[in-house]
């Protein structure tokens, strides 16, 4: 019997990869051999309803309830979110409407209609002062509106819900910094990126496959999911250049203080996620360089399409 899965925010980079993965297909830039629960997706295992932002506005409580009544899902993966970190500083009401109230609407509807919720959150719930990677039970202290709104959304979830914190998400499809870096590399230009913001990369394809494991098991509680290894944005840029055949002069390190106001929102200096809990229950996501190389090479193979 198929498990019925509702995916909100299905048009985003993770949403598209998750729909492919639930259908038993390897998404663009994915690794078919990465099976964190050791089991490939079977034909017909999941019956999926993927809804984009235009098809479901999660801030509309009544519309959310109607969708749950119509779909009658067993599991809902809640990807819909306000993710414009800098814009949120001047638009907090809209940010909270989606990330807090929208999450509350989805959690309430899941509980009412008997579905298990998997809600996606962020490393930006932390302030970056720990000096080491963050565990699920570490104290939160967001520095910006986006992080605070996502933490507020976590708190509106039910105790039985599953909350997945992830970080620095980038995919072949959709918009992410990695595409900007690759475009500059391909044009023979150079880039400058900060080397004083540390974190953990998460490729959309690997996150999607990890989410399938959670859809199957519905564990509840907090989970940190990201590719293995910490890095900086400078290291990411330099590695993308390396994969694309650029030399050491492609990327230059700068300090966050040199960004000249291009980043409105404060970012944590070190928001890396400790993923030992997920790795123990399933298996670790691939090391970030391995995952990022897949992404970049698939982008090249597709002619730079994103």
Confidence (pLDDT) at 175 = 84
**Distance from C-alpha of 94 to C-alpha of 97, rounded to nearest angstrom:** 5
Average pLDDT over residues 10-28: 95
Residue spans of beta strands (DSSP E) within 20-94: 46-51, 75-78
**Distance from C-alpha of 282 to C-alpha of 286, rounded to nearest angstrom:** 12
**Distance from C-alpha of 119 to C-alpha of 157, rounded to nearest angstrom:** 8
DSSP class of residue 140 equals P
Confidence (pLDDT) at 261 = 64
Confidence (pLDDT) at 301 = 79
75-78/3-8 β-pairing: parallel
Q: Are 228 and 52 in contact (CB under 8 A)?
A: no
**Distance from C-alpha of 157 to C-alpha of 117, rounded to nearest angstrom:** 9
DSSP class of residue 189 equals -
Is 146 an active-site residue? yes
Instruction: For Cα atoms 133, 135, 138, give the angle at the middle one, nearest 5 degrees.
Output: 105
pLDDT digits (tens, 9 = 90+) for 204-245: 999 999 999 999 999 999 999 999 999 999 999 999 999 999
**Distance from C-alpha of 233 to C-alpha of 170, rounded to nearest angstrom:** 12
Average pLDDT over residues 155-170: 97
Residue spans of beta strands (DSSP E) within the chain: 3-8, 46-51, 75-78, 116-122, 162-166, 169-170, 191-194, 198-200, 202-203, 221-224, 227-228, 230-232, 251-254, 285-287
Residue 304: pLDDT band (50, 70, 90) is: low
pLDDT digits (tens, 9 = 90+) for 58-110: 999 999 999 999 999 999 999 999 999 999 999 999 999 999 999 999 999 99
Confidence (pLDDT) at 262 = 66
Is the model's pLDDT at 117 over the cut of 90?
Answer: yes
Confidence (pLDDT) at 267 = 92
Percentage with pLDDT > 70 across the chain: 98
Catalytic residue among 124, 134, 146, 239: 146
């Amino acid at each position: 019997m198929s498990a019925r899965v509702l995916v909100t925010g299905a048009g985003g980079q993770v949403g598209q990869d998750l729909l492919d993965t639930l259908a038993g297909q390897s998404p663009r830039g994915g690794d078919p051999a990465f099976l964190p629960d050791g089991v490939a997706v079977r034909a017909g295992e999941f019956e999926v309803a993927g809804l984009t932002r235009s098809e479901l506005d999660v801030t509309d409580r009544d519309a959310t309830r109607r969708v749950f009544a119509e779909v009658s899902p067993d599991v809902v993966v809640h990807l819909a979110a306000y993710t414009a970190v800098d814009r949120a500083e001047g638009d907090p009401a809209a940010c909270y409407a989606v990330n807090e109230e929208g999450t509350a609407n989805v959690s309430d509807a899941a509980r009412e209609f008997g579905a298990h919720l998997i809600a996606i959150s962020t490393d930006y719930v932390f302030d970056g002062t720990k000096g080491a990677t963050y565990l699920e039970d570490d104290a939160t202290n967001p520095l910006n509106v986006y992080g605070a709104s996502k933490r507020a959304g976590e708190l509106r979830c039910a105790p039985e819900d599953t909350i997945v914190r992830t970080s620095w998400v980038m995919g072949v499809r959709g918009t992410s910094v990695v595409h900007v870096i690759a475009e500059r590399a391909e044009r023979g230009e150079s880039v400058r990126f900060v080397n004083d913001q540390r974190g953990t990369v998460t490729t959309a394809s690997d996150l999607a496959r990890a989410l399938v494991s959670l859809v199957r098991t519905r564990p509840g509680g907090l989970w940190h999911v990201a590719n293995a290894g910490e890095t900086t944005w400078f290291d990411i840029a330099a590695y993308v250049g390396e994969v694309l055949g650029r030399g050491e002069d492609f990327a230059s390190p700068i300090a966050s203080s040199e960004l000249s106001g291009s980043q409105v929102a404060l970012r944590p200096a070190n928001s890396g996620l400790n993923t030992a809990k997920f790795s123990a229950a399933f298996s670790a996501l691939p090391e970030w360089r391995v995952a990022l190389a897949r992404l970049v090479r698939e982008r090249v193979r597709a002619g730079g399409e994103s």
